[in-house]
């Protein structure tokens, strides 16, 4: 039995091979900046203007010439009023201007004195309680963005802040790479759908199809156009028909279940009949079985059926693949070192991804049941510990923590 098993493949090697098959999708589209969240920029965004466009006040107060305040700070006449959005006159020598947050600083003024450092001294006259320094409370033109600079680079996956930044340089639409088209299949005769079969009506051995729900959500988070084919039909001919159909309109066909060694399943022979299929044993836990193949122009990936394995394998392999198809530059999640507030006394020969959560003291707690069938561990966790093969963990050891926020964004 062991002799027929393919050797375990290190995760990094499997990922590198997968990524070597991921070519940037041809085609871009222009979308409203409102709708561009999580999409990948197809071009550098170069700013046509300075942000902010003018020197402006960061306080409600008075625009002054410092020398005038120093000379006769006791009381100065207010010669103009400048709300945000106004175009001021140059500051009359020997006077000050009433100014509000965001309003342009008038020519000739070299500082803002905040309202709290002044008091009224008659009608249109104000007294200064301290002498300002040049530059105080002035936001300089271009201190956020310089005209001509690249604000966001091609390959940037747009965050909410990035959308605001793009808007701040006047972009109402953004050119992004087209969405990957993904066909999703679940395999397994034991699977039933929540909402279709009530818990009380479940036949012995039946389980709900949970993978379908998180996989379709994970795909949508990556801005894929998902065609959900549901559960694979339980005969060979229908399976071939469904896969052939999916291959004509998809960049990726994604299945869960049915890739374990020796398992009887319609999907494997159907993919082999239509195209090519490699079964991999990846040296990770949870995970391990994984299939990569091609049907026509479509990529094929088969995830393990165990829900935690399916979830983790998606994050480690499918996610970077889909990001690379879209031209994203940041593919790998950023891990941080953190102390373990748990013990992991039994080393595994595979690299492990343990479900953990940060506690209030800046350390990691371990979910007690790390079985690949226990989806509660993933729902509970806020990250994974990337534990190298053969490594035990003692209380207080530094481990590599990958926040789920990095992987689910």
CB of 212 to ligand AMP, least distance (A): 6
260 binds, among ligand AMP, Mg ion, none (CB under 5 to 8 A by kind): ligand AMP
258 near ligand AMP, judged by CB under 6 A: yes
**Measured CA distances, 148 to 43, 47, 145, 322, 340 (Å):** 14, 5, 9, 31, 47
Nearest residue (CB) to ligand AMP, 50 versus 186: 186
28 near ligand AMP, judged by CB under 6 A: no
Phi, psi of 33 (to 5 degrees): -55, -30
Chain residue whose CB lies nearest ligand AMP? 305
Region binding ligand AMP by CB under 6 A among candidate stretches 54-62, 150-158, 183-191, 234-242: 183-191
281 near ligand AMP, judged by CB under 6 A: no
Of 211, 247, 250, 313, the one binding ligand AMP (CB under 6 A) is 211
Q: Which 212-231 residues touch ligand AMP, going by CB under 6 A?
A: 212
d(CA 41, CA 30): 10
275 near Mg ion, judged by CB under 5 A: no
Distance of CA 296 to the CA centre of its chain: 30
Any alpha helices (H) in 203-318, and if so which ranges? 211-221, 236-249, 267-274, 307-313
d(CA 39, CA 400): 28
Q: Token pair of 255, please?
A: 């299945």
Nearest residue (CB) to Mg ion, 257 versus 287: 257
257 near ligand AMP, judged by CB under 6 A: yes
**Measured CA distances, 50 to 169, 170, 296 (Å):** 8, 11, 49
Asked if residue 274 lies in contact with residue 244, where contact means CB atoms within 8 angstroms, the answer is yes
CB of 315 to ligand AMP, least distance (A): 17
d(CA 248, CA 270): 15
306 near ligand AMP, judged by CB under 6 A: yes
Partners of residue 208 on adjacent β-strands:
192
Region binding ligand AMP by CB under 6 A among candidate stretches 56-64, 148-156, 185-193, 267-275: 185-193
106 near ligand AMP, judged by CB under 6 A: no
286 near ligand AMP, judged by CB under 6 A: no
Q: Token pair of 371, please?
A: 């079985």
Phi, psi of 339 (to 5 degrees): -80, 140
CB of 275 to Mg ion, least distance (A): 21
257 near Mg ion, judged by CB under 5 A: yes
d(CA 208, CA 152): 43
Q: At what angle do helices 236-249 and 267-274 cross, to 10 degrees?
A: 50
Nearest residue (CB) to ligand AMP, 16 versus 207: 207
Q: Give contact residues for ligand AMP (rule: CB under 6 A).
A: 186, 188, 190-191, 207, 209-212, 256-258, 260, 263, 304-307
Q: Give contact residues for Mg ion (rule: CB under 5 A).
A: 188, 257-258, 305
């Amino acid at each position: 039995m062991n002799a027929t098993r393919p050797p375990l493949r290190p995760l990094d090697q499997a990922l590198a091979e997968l990524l070597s098959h991921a070519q940037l999708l041809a085609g871009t589209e222009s979308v409203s900046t409102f709708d561009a969240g999580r999409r990948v920029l197809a071009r550098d965004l170069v700013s046509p203007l300075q942000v902010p466009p003018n020197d402006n006040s960061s306080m409600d107060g008075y625009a002054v010439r410092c020398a005038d305040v120093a000379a006769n700070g006791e009381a100065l006449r207010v010669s103009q009023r400048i709300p945000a959005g106004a175009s001021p006159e140059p500051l009359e020598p020997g006077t000050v201007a009433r100014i509000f947050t965001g309003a342009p600083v008038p020519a000739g003024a070299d500082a803002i004195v905040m309202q709290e450092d002044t008091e009224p001294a008659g009608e249109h006259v104000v007294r200064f309680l301290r002498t300002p320094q040049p530059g105080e409370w002035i936001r300089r033109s271009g201190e956020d963005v310089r005209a001509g600079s690249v604000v966001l680079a091609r390959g940037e996956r747009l965050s909410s802040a990035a959308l605001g930044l793009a808007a701040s340089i006047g972009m109402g639409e953004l050119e992004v790479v087209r969405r990957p088209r993904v066909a999703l299949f679940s395999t397994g005769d034991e699977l039933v759908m929540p909402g279709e079969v009530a818990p009380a009506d479940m036949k012995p051995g039946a389980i709900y199809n949970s993978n379908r729900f998180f996989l379709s959500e994970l795909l949508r988070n990556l801005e894929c156009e998902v065609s959900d084919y549901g559960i694979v039909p339980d005969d060979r001919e229908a399976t071939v028909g469904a896969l052939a159909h999916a291959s004509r309109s998809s960049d990726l066909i994604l299945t869960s279940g049915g890739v374990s060694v020796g398992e009887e399943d319609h999907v494997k022979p159907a993919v082999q009949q239509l195209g090519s299929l490699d079964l991999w044993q990846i040296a990770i836990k949870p995970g391990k079985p994984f299939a990569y193949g091609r049907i026509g122009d479509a990529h094929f990936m088969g995830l393990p059926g165990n829900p935690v394995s399916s979830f983790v394998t998606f994050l480690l392999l499918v996610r970077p693949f889909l990001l690379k198809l879209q031209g994203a530059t940041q593919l790998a999640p950023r891990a941080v070192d953190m102390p373990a507030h748990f013990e992991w006394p039994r080393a595994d020969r595979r690299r492990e991804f343990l479900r953990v959560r940060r506690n209030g003291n800046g350390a990691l707690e371990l979910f007690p049941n790390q079985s690949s069938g226990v989806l509660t561990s993933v729902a509970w966790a806020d990250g994974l510990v990337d534990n190298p093969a053969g490594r035990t963990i003692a209380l207080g050891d530094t481990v590599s923590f990958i926040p789920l926020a990095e992987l689910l964004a």
